[in-house]
Amino acid sequence: MIVPAPVLPTTRDENWKHAPLRGIERLRWAPPTALTQEARLAATALLGDDPPQGAISTRIVLIDGLHCPDLARGPVGGDAAGVGPGVAFHATDAPAQPGAATVSIDLAFAGLNRHHRQGELRIRVPDGETLELEVVCIALSCGHPALRIDLGARATLRLFERHIGATGSLANLALSVQLGHGARLEHARLLQPADGARHFETLEAVVGADAQHRMIQVTSGAAATRSTALVALEGAGADLGWHTAVLGAGTQTHDAYVRVTHDAPAVRTEQGFRGIAADRSRIAFNGHMRVTARAPGAHSAQTLRGLTAGAAAEIDLRPQLEIDIDDVRASHGATIGKLDADMLFYLLSRGLDPATADSLLKWAFIADVIARLSDPAWRSRFEDALAPLLPGAHAARSLT
């Protein structure tokens, strides 16, 4: 299918100038209409030796945006996902027109998702309840997975989200989050599509009063990833922690745009980014903090760090502040550089070979993000996923 050109952003659009957009209008955007046995087998192979010990007992798997009950895990219930009454996969009746609901170019891919999606996974946690869940999205050809998370007052959700994809696959995820009064979302995201895959995603979140949203995300693999996140802190005392690590290699491009709107009194944001660009890869991160006149007492802190580890690698950082009130404390810092020569020398002088020393220092660089995972089992899964990318760094695992 040829996508209407006006729907898609171009590199002339300010927030998209780093994303690899060439030829996207020619990609095959239409997903398969049904899951075949072949697809189930391929997805099983990609999942690998799951689950690890101590992992989450409840799992939902979407293949190219379609629910696959065969690969689900956990208690059997009467609903589509087999998890509980609050979790269900709803098939889409009629697709939205492309771009019909698009209000800005940042939501262009969300509009495409709405048009192509074949269903939506809805996760609703009632007031005061707690749920732990793993969602795996597998892209085999082309998929538009859609997730909607709705937490009631004082509800807690611990969500482990994985994205894997076959070579050449295309995924276009839409994720919406609504956190009620005093709710808490612990959100760990591991994005590891295969080389040559493309991954686009649009995250929209509204955080209510005294609610907490903790996001830890690690991205590696794929030919190109583009992540757009629009977060609104709309309730007084809302609290956001957003920490991301990206490892680029080969000719990969990883581009992220996170806009946080502080729109209520005494809201807080802490944002961290770590990017390692090796070989000829390119990493871009645009962190846009807005504080409106309705947010007295807001506090925003941003720390963005990039490590250039390839002769032709590139890192672009854009820490942005847009503030319309004086009762605010906002700061940001951004650094880009190479590995510290003194640290490298120290490790070499202790007898480590150069490759191991290099891996250890890179591990330490991103450990700041992974160490924020409070659950040791989740941390271990992130470390397992990253170990092949940083060979020799296993010695440092116990330190994080």
* Exposure class string for 154-192: b at 16+ Cβ within 10 A, else e: bbbbbbbbbbbbbebbbbbbbbbbbbbbbbbbbbbbbbb
Phi, psi (deg, nearest 5) at residue 76: -90, 125
- Cβ proximity to another protein: between 212 and 269 the closer is 269
> What distance in Å separates the CA atoms of residue 340 and residue 348, rounded to the nearest whole number?
13
- Cβ proximity to another protein: between 316 and 375 the closer is 316
Binding to another protein in span 12-51, by CB under 8 A: 14
> Do the Cβ atoms of 297 and 330 come closer than 8 Å?
no
Quick one: which of 40, 73, 154, 318 contacts another protein (CB under 8 A)? 318
- Within 10 angstroms of residue 199's Cβ, the number of other Cβ atoms is 26
Region binding another protein by CB under 8 A among candidate stretches 49-57, 159-167, 235-243, 310-318: 310-318
The DSSP bridge pattern shows strands 119-125 and 87-91 to be: antiparallel
Least Cβ distance, residue 212 to another protein (angstroms): 24
* Number of residues near another protein (by CB under 8 A): 35
- Cβ proximity to another protein: between 285 and 378 the closer is 285
Least Cβ distance, residue 109 to another protein (angstroms): 22
Region binding another protein by CB under 8 A among candidate stretches 47-55, 83-91, 321-329, 359-367: 321-329
Region binding another protein by CB under 8 A among candidate stretches 212-220, 239-247, 329-337, 365-373: 329-337
Least Cβ distance, residue 317 to another protein (angstroms): 5
Mask: binding to another protein, 352-371, rule CB under 8 A, as x and -?
Answer: --------------------
Least Cβ distance, residue 293 to another protein (angstroms): 7
Quick one: which of 100, 293, 355, 399 contacts another protein (CB under 8 A)? 293
Least Cβ distance, residue 314 to another protein (angstroms): 5
301 forms beta bridges with: 270, 331
Quick one: which of 42, 194, 321, 387 contacts another protein (CB under 8 A)? 321
Region binding another protein by CB under 8 A among candidate stretches 20-28, 97-105, 179-187, 305-313: 305-313
Quick one: which of 126, 196, 310, 392 contacts another protein (CB under 8 A)? 310
Give whole-number Cα distances, 368 to 7, 198, 220, 274, in Å: 38, 27, 17, 8
Asked if 313 touches another protein (CB under 8 A), the answer is yes
Quick one: which of 128, 333, 354, 391 contacts another protein (CB under 8 A)? 333
Asked if 342 touches another protein (CB under 8 A), the answer is no
Extract the tokens encoding 165: 């994809």
Which residues, 6 or more positions from 259, have their beta carbon under 8 angstroms from its beta carbon?
A: 106, 229, 230, 231, 288, 290
Cα–chain center distance at 38: 28
* Exposure class string for 79-91: b at 16+ Cβ within 10 A, else e: ebbbbbebbbbee
Phi, psi (deg, nearest 5) at residue 28: -85, 110
Asked if 312 touches another protein (CB under 8 A), the answer is yes
> What distance in Å separates the CA atoms of residue 296 and residue 38, rounded to the nearest whole number?
56
> What distance in Å separates the CA atoms of residue 313 and residue 50, rounded to the nearest whole number?
34
Region binding another protein by CB under 8 A among candidate stretches 220-228, 326-334, 357-365, 366-374: 326-334
Quick one: which of 130, 167, 320, 374 contacts another protein (CB under 8 A)? 320
> What distance in Å separates the CA atoms of residue 241 and residue 165, rounded to the nearest whole number?
27
Binding site for another protein (CB under 8 A): 14, 293, 296, 306, 308-338
